[in-house]
Structure 1
Amino acid sequence: MSHVTEWKTRIYLFEEDRTTHVRIDLDTGTTKLTGHGTARCNPTDADVPEIGDELAAARALEDLGAQLKLLAFGDMETAGAGPRAGTPWATASD
């Protein structure tokens, strides 16, 4: 069975006072999720905005990934695809 779909994402980056905040909105067509990430520049380091953007975005993507994993686990449970004996559900940090 073939399945093709498109998920829409928007990435918003905000920087102020050597701190970068990123928000990533994901719309799957049936679910909307938002991931958040922050990066702070050490006062003794050179201020390189691209590094803050990359690090904050990576953290927002990790947050979004954890949310997607939990959503999938819930959907699996609803579909009756629970864990096999001796194999607990993976955690969001796996």
Structure 2
Amino acid sequence: MTHAEEWKVGVYLIEDGGTTKARAVLDNGKSTMVGRGAARCNPQDLEVPAIGDELAASRAMRDLAGQLMRAADKDLLAMGAAPPDPRTGYGWPEDAGP
């Protein structure tokens, strides 16, 4: 059975006074999820906006990824799957190779 979908993620950044805030918004066509992240520039460091953007965006996407994993865990439990191994979660371990 073939299955194809397109999920869109938008990352929105705002910098104000040395703090960069990010929102990662996932829209799968049925619902949306929002991850949030922030980064602050140390007052003694040079201000490089690109670094703050990268840090805040990565933190927002990590937050979003955690929400997706928790949603998948909840859905799997609802389908009768055994609780996940806390070390690897459901499915194959991320480092499983060929």
Shared fold per TM-score greater than 0.5: yes
Structure-1 separation of matches of 2:77 and 2:20: 37
Secondary structure of 1:29's match?
coil
Higher mean C-alpha deviation, range 42-51 or range 20-29 = 20-29
Partner of 2:28 in structure 1? 28
1:11-41 CA-partner distances (Å, limit 9, x unpaired): 1100010110001110112221000000000
Structure-1 separation of matches of 2:70 and 2:32: 14
Shift of 1:78: 1.1
What TM-score, normalized to structure 2?
A: 0.83
Structure-2 separation of matches of 1:88 and 1:43: 39
Residue 50 of structure 2 aligns to which amino acid in structure 1? E
Partner of 1:44 in structure 2? 44
Moved over 6 A (4+): none
Shift of 1:82: 2.3
Residue 25 of structure 1 aligns to which amino acid in structure 2? V
* Coordinate RMSD, CA, aligned: 1.6
1:72 maps onto 2:72 in alignment: yes
Shift of 1:88: 4.9
1:4 maps onto 2:7 in alignment: no
Identity among equivalent positions (%) equals 49
Partner of 2:16 in structure 1? 16
1:23-74 CA-partner distances (Å, limit 9, x unpaired): 1110112221000000000000000000000000000010000000000001
Partner of 2:53 in structure 1? 53
Runs (5+) with no aligned partner, structure 1? none
